Amino acid sequence: MSLHLRGGLAALACVAVMPRAASADAPAPAPSPRFIDRAAASRGIAYVMLGASHRGDPVLAVEAAFGALAAVGFGFDDRLMVGATGRDAAVERHQVAWFRVRAEAQEWFRHQPALDLTLERFGDGKRVEAAELRVAASDGWSLGAAGRLEATLGLGLWDLDGAAGRLSTRPLVDRVRPFGALAWSPPSYPRTSFLLEGSFGPSVIDGRPRVDWRLGWGARYRAFSWGAIDLVVRNREDAGLAGSTAMVRVSAQL
Amino acid sequence: MTRSLSVILMLALCAPVWAQPPPPSGSPSPPPGPVTREDGQEGASSERADATRGDDEATDEATDEATDEATADAPLFEYPATDRASSAPKPVRPVPPAVHGLLFAPTARMLNAGEISASAALDTIGGAQLDLKVGLGGVAEFGIGTTDHVRIRDCATCDAKALRFVPMARFVMGLPEHRLFKHQPALALGFQKSFSRDHDERSSRWASLYMVGSKRLGSAQLHGGLMLWDGVILRADGSEVALHEGPVRKVIRPYGGFEVLARDQSYVIVDLTWNPELEISRDLTAPDRIHLRPMLSWGVRYEVSRRVALEAGVRVPDIADANLLDAQIFAQLRFASRMLADAIDDLQGN
């Protein structure tokens, strides 16, 4: 097991133990606006997340509500991987911007989950390298003695540019990918959530664009009603355990 | 094409004539003077003012409905009162929302007489769009601005790039909703054209003629119409390619969209329209081409006030090939003013 992964697991264990000092009777915190790489379809006024990976790749997300229906955001992202092979691919830092239109849970009918339509584009101001149009549904449930569970499910339509061509020239089946995420808060540690996320992300391997799977897992400790710290690990296709990425992130929401 | 143009123009020119209310049978014909009520106010106009009386605090829905109903009842032409009472209260002008319409596609909703509207949009690749328009008599609109919706590509498979800051002008004439008959949608005939723009050792310009209808259904507004496009690319050697050289069916496109008041002051808007794309051949022996590409936009309008609105959304310049890399996230500020209309009214002593 790599040194980085062991460090990530140790940090994860620390976060899991930390909330013991917090009151177990504290009210359930607000739904998470974001899991690991995927945002939940929840509504907030503003959200800021800042973090870095063990390789020093920064990540930043700033989102502000636009009226009651939409939100716009921008930041820096570490999901686009470029390399000669899948194993050797490295993060290509780039800007991201997104626009979301959303409907709150139960706004239209009973038991309706929160819904979200998002366009997210990766790239600098002159050139777009990747874009995703996605729909997501999010909901949360109180499981009584089992704590609280939040879930997000969705579908994304990807487009990606590479030296060997564009993803948009391929059939839709090569471009549409599902994603899902869970956040479970055990009753003994109401301020802590365990995160699990499966999704797809953009890669350009040997000039060929593709979307490959990503598996994220970790823990979140909500130190305040408005702020949290996450310790998460991301595994990706072709990278093996040695290619895992451990990240620490702090976030604040209104 | 000439025949189609003639039909559209004839329809537009005849519309105001059809809009005249039929004279009551058995009664002498005009002039239909204002109906005077017991309190000495003008019937139709004060009813309209009463029906739409309110200020900026009134809800959009109430004001819009009242304005529509008042418009339906009002005669097309109002003759001045012969014995206007000096003590008569000054009628309150209706205040319909001045910022309305789709994100980028033209609609049949027009500004009131003398109202001015301006908008500025920015997108994520630094593109910008400006628009300034003024309402003329409540039945027409004139506007100027710039657009970056026209795109250029060097070959069929090359990346397209936007042609920035193309100046353009627009003239629209039409009728508001319920004017000809109850439930009649608002109708407009518009013409917009660009000024010549030099680029890539060529000069290009385009124009479009459109007929559009707009209808309010509850908290939603539907818009739909037809566009007739033309465009010309003129090379330095004098050779040119024009869109109208092809069959008419290649230059006529349907377009439309809707606005839904989904939350207080917040509208969800979706529209589909068309824009020319210039395929510039680097090989001068090969001809240039002009294509029409469907542009899909969706977004949200947040009404900051009755006169100011913010819009944000997504614009996909060519939705036909589901190319998301060209999609742009944009923000747009719209602003409307009645200053000119008020100044004109003051000059007229109203």
A33-61 pLDDT per residue, tens = 889 988 888 778 899 999 999 989 999 99
Peptide bond into B254 cis (omega under 30): no
> A181 with A202: CB under 8 angstroms?
no
**Beta-bridge mates of residue B64:** none
Least Cα distance to B243 among B273, B217, B271, B209 occurs for B209
Integer-rounded Cα radius of gyration of chain B: 23
Least Cα distance to A118 among A33, A230, A214, A209 occurs for A33
Nearest to A67 among B265, B298, B331 (CB): B265
Tokens (6 digits) for A201: 């992300």
d(CA A216, CA A244): 10
d(CA B67, CA B54): 11
Q: Quick one: closest CA in B to A158, which residue? A: B324
Least Cα distance to A78 among A88, A86, A90, A62 occurs for A90
Reported as type and span, the H/E element at residue A139 is strand A128-142
Q: Which residues lie closer than 8 Å to A142 by C-beta, 6 or more apart? A: A28, A148
d(CA B92, CA B48): 9
d(CA B169, CA B190): 11
B314 and A119 in contact by Cβ < 8 A? yes
Nearest to B124 among A121, A130, A168 (CB): A121
Residue B321 DSSP SS3: helix
- The pLDDT value recorded for residue B284 is 74
Minimum distance, in Å, between the CA of residue A197 and any CA atom of chain B: 24
Tokens (6 digits) for B30: 């005009």
d(CA B168, CA B149): 11
B304 touches A: beta carbon within 8 Å: no
d(CA B342, CA B349): 10
- What is the longest distance spanned by two Cα atoms in chain B? 80
Query: Taking residues A211-233, what's their average pLDDT?
Result: 93
Least Cα distance to B105 among B190, B231, B46 occurs for B190
| DSSP β-ladder status, A58-66 and A90-91 | unpaired
d(CA B334, CA A87): 50
> B81 with B91: CB under 8 angstroms?
no
d(CA B102, CA B309): 12
B321 touches A: beta carbon within 8 Å: yes
- The pLDDT value recorded for residue B3 is 52
pLDDT for A4 beyond 70: no
Question: What would the DSSP string read from start to end of B143-211?
Answer: EEEEE---EEESSTTSPPEE---EEEEEEEEEE-TTSSSTTPPEEEEEEEEEPPEEETTEEEEEEEEEE
In this predicted model, what pLDDT tens digit does every residue of B70-105 receive, in sequence order? 544 444 444 444 444 445 555 544 445 557 889 999
> A167 with A132: CB under 8 angstroms?
no
Least Cα distance to A7 among A199, A214, A237, A218 occurs for A218
d(CA A138, CA A125): 31
**Count of CB pairs separated by less than 8 Å, A with B:** 84
Angle at A46 between CA B220 and CA A185, to 5 degrees: 105
> A175 with A186: CB under 8 angstroms?
no
A99 and B322 in contact by Cβ < 8 A? no
Confidence of residue A250 (pLDDT cuts 50, 70, 90): very high
- The pLDDT value recorded for residue A31 is 66
Q: Could you state, in chain order, the average pLDDT of each consecutive group of 10 residues for chain B (350 residues)?
A: 48 45 42 40 40 42 50 46 48 56 92 91 86 91 93 83 91 93 94 90 93 94 96 87 86 96 90 93 82 94 89 91 86 90 82
d(CA A99, CA A78): 19
A131 and B324 in contact by Cβ < 8 A? yes
Least Cα distance to B161 among B152, B170, B169 occurs for B152
B127 touches A: beta carbon within 8 Å: no
d(CA B64, CA B61): 5
Nearest to B322 among A98, A117, A168 (CB): A168
For residue B329, list chain A residues with Cβ-Cβ distance below 8 A.
Answer: 72, 97-99, 119, 121
Q: Which residues lie closer than 8 Å to A213 by C-beta, 6 or more apart? A: A198, A199, A200, A236, A237
Reported as type and span, the H/E element at residue B215 is strand B202-217
- The pLDDT value recorded for residue A21 is 41
Nearest to A128 among B262, B321, B325 (CB): B325
Residue of A63, A74, A80, A99 to mutate for B, most B C-beta atoms under 10 A: A99
Q: Which residues lie closer than 8 Å to B58 by C-beta, 6 or more apart? A: B95
Count CB atoms within 10 A of the CB of residue A107: 13
Burial A13-37 (b: 16+ CB within 10 A, else e): eebbebbeeeeeeeeebebbbbbbb
Minimum distance, in Å, between the CA of residue A107 and any CA atom of chain B: 10
A68 touches B: beta carbon within 8 Å: yes
Torsion of CA A232, A103, A96, A248, to 10 degrees: -20
Tokens (6 digits) for B187: 């109708």
pLDDT for A109 beyond 50: yes
Burial A157-170 (b: 16+ CB within 10 A, else e): bbbbbbeeebbbee
Q: Quick one: closest CA in B to A95, which residue? A: B124
Tokens (6 digits) for B59: 């809800």
In this predicted model, what pLDDT tens digit does every residue of A114-146 receive, in sequence order? 999 999 998 865 566 899 999 999 999 988 889
Name the H helices within chain A: 3-17
**Beta-bridge mates of residue B44:** none
